[in-house]
Amino acid sequence: MTVRVTGFFLLLIAGVSLGQECAPKKYDTGIVCVCNVSYCDELPPLKKLDQPQYQVFTSNQDGLRLHRTNGTFQPYAFNLLNILNSLNTIQINKYERYQTIFGFGGAFTDAFGINLQSVEPALQEKVLSSYFSKSGIEYNVGRVPIGGTDFSTKGYSYDDSDTPDPSLSLFKLADEDYRYKLSYIRRARELNQELKLFASAWIAPKWMKTNHAFSGFGRVKDEYYQTWANYHKKFFDEYKKENITFWGVTTGNEPSLSMFGSNIPSNRFTIEEMKRWVGDHLGPTIRQSEYKDLKIMVLDDQRVFLPWFVDAVFSNETIKNYIDIVAVHWYWDDVILPFVLDLVHTKYPEKLLMGTEACVGDRVWEKGVELGSWQRGERYAFSVIQDIQHHFIGWTDWNMALDTKGGPTYINNNVDSPIIINSAAGEFYKQPMYYSLGHFSKFVPRGSVRIGITQKQFISSTAFLRPDQGVVVVLQNRGNFGHNIELVDSERGKISLSLGPHSLTTVVYY
Ligand SMILES: *[C@@H]1O[C@H](CO)[C@@H](O)[C@H](O)[C@H]1NC(C)=O
Ligand SMILES: *[C@@H]1O[C@H](CO)[C@@H](O)[C@H](O)[C@H]1NC(C)=O
Ligand SMILES: *[C@@H]1O[C@H](CO)[C@@H](O)[C@H](O)[C@H]1NC(C)=O
Ligand SMILES: *[C@@H]1O[C@H](CO)[C@@H](O)[C@H](O)[C@H]1NC(C)=O
């Protein structure tokens, strides 16, 4: 069944038994699903269909959004004819096992909280539910900035003393934590008890910095490295008092920004500085504290630093042993092929790779929000598939919601987000990027294992075995032409699928 966005009613009829469907709104740039206090599309929890049935969820440029259909496996015989015809066959191999999946999510930035607070509580709840609940896309990962970021209304740290305060006697959480973060994080965790958080710092107090500024060419002064580690520990203490505990901590957001003197706040860590930071300060401080089980996530920066940056850092065994995860951002993926991820995985199989930030609209020629952009949603899905095929255990988006201008951001670094909140209209828009991430996050729970799948030239694909033994396959067609394929599981049979142009498909079977 193909339902195009010809009207709200058609979709409602098609979706009678499937939960509330998308209320589409068309822009020149594409289609969004509109939510207001009284209406928001919902995705019912995954139903387990018995063998030999399977279900298919489709999104596409024409306006389908996780549209559910079902079918029955057809017999498939491994004979010569089928092998000769295998041009269109995509084979699942459940016995070829790779990494275990940790999860998918986004970041609790000040901008997210500010935008939530700009609408009434019932609508805030719909945003949080869209991301975290069983009727949403079931995010189970959250990134929490330690203090401010460029997506705050001003630069700030937790100890903005005019004079040095090495004992951190003035350390305290900011108003922003109380107003824009804590209660939303707690609510998200109520909606999904599987939610796990990791923290990253952008901004160190000016008195700690070589350039006495939050951004620019600066780093934490040598004499304050331990203070900066203590500062991290104090953050975990304060959040613990608020009943919020963490799973991981990165070594700091994008240390490379300050090597270029960017106006985005950051702290420089060259290889030698990173070794000293992890080996003599952050590592021992975390491991000797009550937070000793935190995953320490190195890099938190672009692929271009792989594998050489971690090679150099890991050349010291002590330092290498402090690190659990190599955290990677996506911004330069177009120019750096994913084989660098394989190099890291092959050399350090015990270190896990994870995506810790991504967003679109960050480039000069494509700044800010583009409502309904299918192409942007397509870039997300393509990246998730590629990263997972190259050993990522999870993928984390940036701001979970922005305003219609792609802010607020005090340095005007406006970008895009999977949810755009229009407070004046009392509504929010779910962009294709939201559904792209949902094609994975909703169906691939923590503990799923990536399994084997044959790769085709025109179709990107990845597959998983869920902890409940369900199989999930995600197939992406980014081309202008449809492709008919046969998905083959030798123990089940075959599924014939027509993958339309610019479509994303998730298949689930037990
Ligand atoms: C909310 O959205 C629904 C579906 O698009 C629409 O029928 C309804 O009028 C909207 N309600 C308000 C208060 O805007
Ligand atoms: C499968 O799809 C058919 C046709 O759309 C529908 O009538 C039926 O309820 C679906 N079965 C399940 C278990 O969802
Ligand atoms: C934290 O949890 C304790 C025990 O459940 C509770 O008494 C306290 O009110 C909570 N604090 C906050 C800030 O939620
Ligand atoms: C490795 O790093 C640790 C912690 O920084 C340091 O104490 C030790 O001297 C280093 N070892 C070598 C061989 O450089």
34 lines ligand 1 (CB under 6 A): yes
Measure the CA–CA gap between 146 and 200, rounded to whole angstroms.
6
Q: Indicate which residue's Cα is closest to atom 11 of ligand 4.
A: 316
Split at pLDDT 50, 70, 90, the class of 184 is very high
Average pLDDT score, the chain: 95
Q: Is 272 considered catalytic here?
A: no
pLDDT (0 to 100) of residue 87: 81
Q: What is the per-residue DSSP string for 190-233?
A: HH-TT-EEEEEE----GGGBTTSSSSSS--B-GGGHHHHHHHHH
Question: What is the CA(128)–ligand 1 centre distance, in A?
Answer: 19
Give the model confidence (pLDDT) of 62-89 as tens digits: 999 999 999 999 998 877 777 766 789 9
Q: Is the separation of the CB atoms in 134 and 439 below 8 Å?
A: no
Is the pLDDT reported for residue 11 higher than 60?
no
**Residue 167: is its pLDDT beyond 80?**
yes
Looking at residues 491-496, what average pLDDT do you find?
Answer: 96
| Positive/negative CA dihedral, 356, 362, 368, 373 | negative
pLDDT of res. 125 = 98
Question: Residue 492 above 90 pLDDT?
Answer: yes
138 is catalytic: no
pLDDT at position 6, please?
Answer: 39
Number of DSSP helices (H) and strands (E) in the chain, helices first: 14, 22
Token pair of 100 as six digits? 């275990």
Q: Is the pLDDT of residue 1 over 90?
A: no
Per DSSP, the three-state class of 419 is strand
Ligand 2 pocket, mutate which of 69, 70, 72, 73 (most atoms under 8 A from CB) = 70
| Ligand 2 pocket at CB < 6 A | 49, 70
Which of 269, 318, 319, 323 for a ligand 4 pocket mutation test, highest count of atoms within 8 Å of Cβ? Answer: 318
**Using 50, 70 and 90 to split pLDDT, how confident is the model at 15?**
very low
Res 440 pLDDT > 80: yes
Q: What is the mean pLDDT of residues 443-456?
A: 97
Question: 243 CB under 6 A from ligand 3?
Answer: yes
Q: Which pLDDT belongs to residue 400?
A: 99
207-257 pLDDT, tens digit each: 999 999 999 999 999 999 999 999 999 999 999 999 999 999 999 999 999
Cα(263)–Cα(202) distance, integer angstroms:
12
Tens of pLDDT, residue by residue over 85-112, are 678 999 999 999 999 999 999 999 999 9
Predicted confidence (pLDDT) at residue 14 exceeds the cutoff of 50: no
Q: Is 419 left (phi over 0), alpha (psi -120 to 50) or beta?
A: beta
Range of weakest confidence among 53-57, 308-312, 367-371? 367-371
Among 357, 370, 427, 486, the active-site one is 357
**Average pLDDT rounded to a whole number, residues 150-171:** 98
DSSP E strand stretches across 29-148: 30-36, 53-60, 67-72, 89-100, 103-107, 141-146
What pLDDT sits at residue 13? 38
Given a cut of 60, whether residue 266 has pLDDT beyond it is yes
User: How many beta carbons lie within 10 A of that of residue 2, not counting itself?
Assistant: 12
Residue 16 binned pLDDT confidence (cut-offs 50, 70, 90): very low
Query: What is the CA(103)–ligand 3 centre distance, in A?
Result: 27
SS3 state at 182: helix
Bridge partners of 399, per DSSP, are 107
- Of all ligands present, the nearest one to the C-alpha of 177 is 3
Query: Buried b vs exposed e over 262-275: b needs ≥16 C-beta within 10 Å?
Result: bebbbbbbeeebbb
Question: Predicted confidence band at 5 (pLDDT cuts at 50, 70, 90)?
Answer: very low
Question: Which pLDDT score is estimated for 183?
Answer: 98
In the block, residue with structure tokens 């995506």: 355
Query: Rounded to the nearest whole angstrom, what is the distance from the C-alpha of residue 127 to the centroid of ligand 1?
Result: 16
Residue 256: φ, ψ to 5°: -70, -25
Q: What is the pTM of this model?
A: 0.95
Instruction: Please give the residue that has the higher pLDDT: either 79 or 139.
Output: 139
User: What is the pLDDT, as a whole number, of residue 20?
Assistant: 87
Q: For residue 40, how far is its CA from the centre of ligand 1 (angstroms)?
A: 9
Residue 229 phi, psi dihedral angles, 5° rounding: -70, -40
Residues 6+ apart with CB under 8 A from 415: 359, 360, 361, 362, 367, 368, 369, 398, 399, 402, 406, 409
Q: CA nearest 481: which of 496, 497, 500, 498?
A: 500
The active-site residue out of 138, 254, 378, 486 is: 254
Residues 220, 280 contacting (CB under 8 angstroms): no
Q: Of 9-13, 183-187, 265-269, 410-414, which range is least confident?
A: 9-13
